[in-house]
Amino acid sequence: MDRPASSPPLPCASEIHARSPQASGRFVPYNCTAVPHDMMESQLFGHRRGAFTSAIEHAPGLIRGAEGGTVFLDEIGELSLASQPKLLRFLESSEIQPIGEPQPVRVNVRVIAATNADLSQLVREGRFREDLFYRLDILRLSIPPLRERREEIPAFCSYFLERYCRESRKSHMEVADDALEYLVLYDWPGNVRQLAAEMRRVVALAAPGAPVTPADLSPEIRASRRTVAASQPVVGVDDVVVSLEQPLPLAVEALERAAIERALRQSRGRVERAAEALGISRKGLFLKRRRLGLPVGDR
């Protein structure tokens, strides 16, 4: 599961588990950056009492504890080289060997892995086993950054506002149209997690039931959009005017079309340079051009 930095993959992984034959089993998430590398093997595969100095009792390990369910390995690129052969063996044979145990243990567990690292690059650098990479790379799901799916921002805002209002026991809140414009046009370098934090902050500070206005948003979001007064209709060559008297998806589409056409003009049709200027991948630019009906001949 490829994902952008700071994009939370846990809901996606848990939803896959909930809709799988393993749904009746446990869903066990594990962040490979959360513990020191020398403890990963014990936490994942378990250990026998006395196997090492601090092993004062038996520990089944997360994988064995998820028997019949799903283990979610987040930040798989951070898995230590010492633990990678054991994970590979488990994926190949469905067997684990807890530290200190004389015999392997067979376990029925689904594995979902996620990373925002380039595993292919880690393989080339010798930091990730190539055989493990190909064993994991069976069904890949890529989650694009939020700036590449701006049409989803209104739904995310509604979801997070409802959730945090319920947690705070505040009455329902909605985002005013002018505030939503700021949120849709913001780049969201922290992706969905940043948007969730913004909505949590808004709920914490707002009066119950009050609409969310631009004044309620963080300074960096307000500063990211330069407004032009109605008395100044003339815009520069690098500016675009989008009418707010239309459905939001159409406004976003117009903005995306203008930005892509400008990037392609400035790069003289060189797709790689245009994608870099837009902050998206070459594939992402191709898909957007196809969706918008723009020519997709690459150079």
pLDDT per position as a tens digit, 141-151: 877 888 888 88
* Whether residue 44 has pLDDT greater than 70: yes
The answer on pLDDT for 8 being more than 70 is no
DSSP 47-115: B-TTSSTT--S-B--HHHHTTTSEEEEETGGGS-TTTHHHHHHHHHHSEE--BT-SS-EE---EEEE-B
pLDDT, residue 228, reads 41
Average model confidence (pLDDT) for the chain? 82
The enclosing H or E element of 131 equals helix 130-136
Q: Work out the pLDDT band at 50, boundaries 50, 70, 90.
A: low
Q: How far is CA 208 from each of CA 160, 162, 179, rounded to the nearest angstrom?
A: 15, 12, 17
pLDDT in tens, 107-141: 899 999 998 888 989 999 999 999 999 999 888 88
pLDDT in the model for residue 230: 41
**251 or 68, which is more confident?**
68
Checking DSSP bridges between strand 70-74 and strand 27-31, what pairing results, if any? parallel
125 vs 232, which has greater pLDDT? Answer: 125
Tokens 């119950």 sit on residue? 208
Q: How far apart are CA 278 and CA 266, in angstroms?
A: 11
**Whole-angstrom distance, CA of residue 5 vs CA of residue 75:** 10
Q: What is the pLDDT of residue 227?
A: 45
pLDDT score for 224: 78
Query: 105-106 and 95-96 as β-strands: parallel, antiparallel, unpaired?
Result: antiparallel
CATH of domain 146-223: 1.10.8.60
Comparison of pLDDT for 267 and 218, the residue scoring more? 218
CB 143 within 8 A of CB 4: yes
pLDDT score of 212: 93
CA distance 71 to 63: 6
pLDDT at position 167 is: 93
User: Is the per-residue pLDDT at 35 higher than 90?
Assistant: no
What mean pLDDT comes out for the span 3-29?
76
User: Does 146-223 match 232-299 in CATH topology?
Assistant: no
Crossing angle (nearest 10°) for helices 177-185 and 248-266: 30
pLDDT score for 294: 84
- Mean pLDDT, residues 165-170 taken together: 91
Q: What is the mean pLDDT of residues 226-254?
A: 63
* Beta-bridge mates of residue 115: 2
Rounded to whole angstroms, how far apart are CA atoms 69 and 82?
25
Give residue 234's pLDDT. Answer: 43
The structural domains of the chain, with segments of one domain joined by +, span: 10-136, 146-223, 232-299
pLDDT of residue 139: 85
pLDDT at 17 over 70: yes
Beta-carbon count within 10 A of 175 CB: 23
Q: Which pairs with CB-CB distance under 8 Å and at least 24 residues apart come from 192-200?
A: 192/6, 192/7, 192/8, 192/146, 192/156, 193/6, 193/7, 193/8, 194/6, 195/146, 195/153, 195/156, 195/157, 195/160, 196/8, 196/156, 196/160, 199/157, 199/160, 199/161, 199/164, 200/160, 200/164
SS3 for 251-290, per residue?
HHHHHHHHHHHHHHHHCCCCHHHHHHHHCCCHHHHHHHHH
The pLDDT tens digits of the residues spanning 256-281 come to: 888 898 888 888 888 888 888 888 88
Superfamily in which the 10-136 domain is placed by CATH: P-loop containing nucleotide triphosphate hydrolases (3.40.50.300)
Q: At 156, is the pLDDT very low, low, confident or very high (cuts 50, 70, 90)?
A: very high
Q: Does domain 232-299 have CATH number 3.40.980.10?
A: no
